[in-house]
Structure 1
Amino acid sequence: MKPITILSAICLLLAQTGKAQFFNKLKQKAQSAVTNAVTGNSNQQVSTSGGSSATGNNSSATSSGFDASKYGTPSFTLEAGERIVYGEATLSIINNLTLIKVITAKDRQYYLYENGTRKGPFNTPPVDKLDNWRSNGDYYNSNDKETNWQPYVVKGILSVDGKSYGEYLQLTKFYHNKAKKRFYGVGVKMEQNAMAVYLVSDKGARKIPLPTEQLLISDNDELGGVIVNATQYNAKTPEETYKIITNDDFYVLLSNGKTLGPFAAVQASQSWLDNNGNLIQVSNSRKAVFINGNQLAAFGDSMNGDGKAFVNSNGKSGAWFERGNLYFTDGTQIIDYALQPAVSVENGKEVLNWLSIQNKQVYVCKKDL
């Protein structure tokens, strides 16, 4: 039996560092994005992913190499003297149809365009009429999802939503969605006079080699998982289990019983699952984004990894959105002309939709993922 002190040391070794600083940085950027969402002139900039900025392009200037008409058609054209209220636009997908809402300003009054139809004037920006307003960053990280586990373990028994899931000494990570009755955690228990670790969920329990504080949870809370180094996953003896190898290949063990990998280590700074069970990773050291171990996009000059991935359900292609830019796996780059990306399904194909503003026209653009 390995001493508990060894497991404690390993837990500390595996724990993520700098988490507080990272999320404080995101909070500051989000606050900046809200502050910048005000009416401006044609030379101002529109807040996009990560709270940074990309050219709003209300003027007649054309970005080098970009033609919005190649990707879509104009939803409407701004009138003379009219301008976008920066940050106040939404693109929603309802029954796989795009719904566009944009707020504009002219002569100290405000207007709402809904799929090209102009409404108003309003004395103040009608932001309450937008659909689920969100910053263009819409950054997601499963580390945001955490619930205090202690009330769920009473006298050593894990109980969630009125159901018992067995004996556990403690949970190193735990999350509970009460509305959906979904939960995920990493539990430690005693088995045959030895410590045993499990990925636990409403779907059951799955044994894993070591405790971890990195619990991956999909955006819709329907899937959970943990990353396990290949050395530990393939270990045949307890001694092999405790080996720590830098830049080891790894697997992702999912709560539904499936296993992803092995994947080559990419020195990931952030890792999460999408709703289809694909692993998304951002590597600041390698300056790239990865899908299931394959590179999705390299960081451009204006990228720092605070963006959002849009991945085909098969995990083989996708796009990365950051700071008003879109980077597709086929090499296509939309620089400074992307707002509010969202996915729809058309004729069985997954399509990425977004807004582009060019030559005083608001375009609804799309491209297959």
Structure 2
Amino acid sequence: MSSLPPFVGPEGAETRLWERDAGGALGEIQLAVRRVLQSIGSPDDTLLCLALSGGPDSLSLAAALVRVALCHPRPWDVSCLTVDHGWRPESAAESQAAVQCARDLGFSSAMVLRGESGGGANGPEGEARLLRWGLLARAAIAEAKVQGKARAVILTGHTLDDQAETVLLRLARGSSLRSIAAMREFESLDCQTGLPLRFAWREEDSGVDAAVDLGLARPLLGIRRELTQAACEQSGLVAVNDPSNRMEGPVKTAAGQPLPRAAIRERVMPALAAALGQDPAPALARLAGQAAADDTILEMLAGEVFWEVLSDEPGDGEPGDSVKLNLKAIEGHKSRDLIRYSAPVLRRVVRRASLLAGARVDSLTEAHLRGVVGLIHDWHGQGPLALPGITVTRRGNFLEFIGRSSDCSDGSSPESRSD
């Protein structure tokens, strides 16, 4: 990988680059990044951590950050983090090249994070994702503490095309509205795993670090993939094209098949475009946005209902704690009859209670939630129900979620999870 400065100008002009539109593809990306940084807030207490793979998406994001973050009158502190999965012999050299490119562009902090993902139920791609996010999260937290920052925000180069592919993956797996919402522009992250807190075992306080708040931003989520390549060319940057992202690449599933995302990118999306006579990516991305908006409203309503029907204060979330819901709660002169709520709201109430009681989020499926909703809407003495890590029992007008000390996962595929 080689790089050239992404801009030229008279002496001192670089201090004003943050407010100048670069024009062309880089200009579009610059504007998107500037808008996201304005939403993040102040550079005084926030460290930006760019997840730099060396590919065109993250490299174009780096070029834009030079203009709007490093050359700002109040410059942001930006650390570049590159993860080397060690999948290919060339990956070590490519990771070092990405770090050197970051330094050439003007980033003072750039490092390689190395780890090796083993076999697991999530397949090579899923295990690598878990490893990558864990490494990024811990490195971002550590770097923020060193620099005395109260907040760290990881920036990734996910594009509109990545969003569309994610929606198709989730649709094929029969996931929920929450899952079809796919990637969000902003997320709060678990400080240990790097996973969104909305997927955490305990949504209220999972992974909170007393010293540093961890977030995620995806500035390019509305940008097309071809634009990032054009921005790299405009900036004089040569990106790495990882063969692991291709169907014929070196990384396969446990069954020896191409990785699902690579197959969707190379086969499904072109086939959809040919069948529909138009590019399906923008519509799929809009679907994700609409699903996210609807899910947010449903989550807010479910949160209000949950705390109103919670019978007792929950314990500390350890296995064996009990969470009890009053199906006919009375607050003052107001009756909160849980039975009258629709299934979408009830599933979210049940999910909150299940996670608080110690259910395993990686095994909790939509089918589990529907089963518990059946205890509310259509109870005729059935139960108790065994969910991953907990037991749910109805006794009269009370629904009790009891954690089990042993791992009672039923082996459900993570592809059908409730998230």
Q: TM-score, normalized by length of structure 2?
A: 0.19
Judging by fraction of residues, say which structure has more helix.
2
In the superposition, the TM-score normalised over structure 1's length comes to 0.21
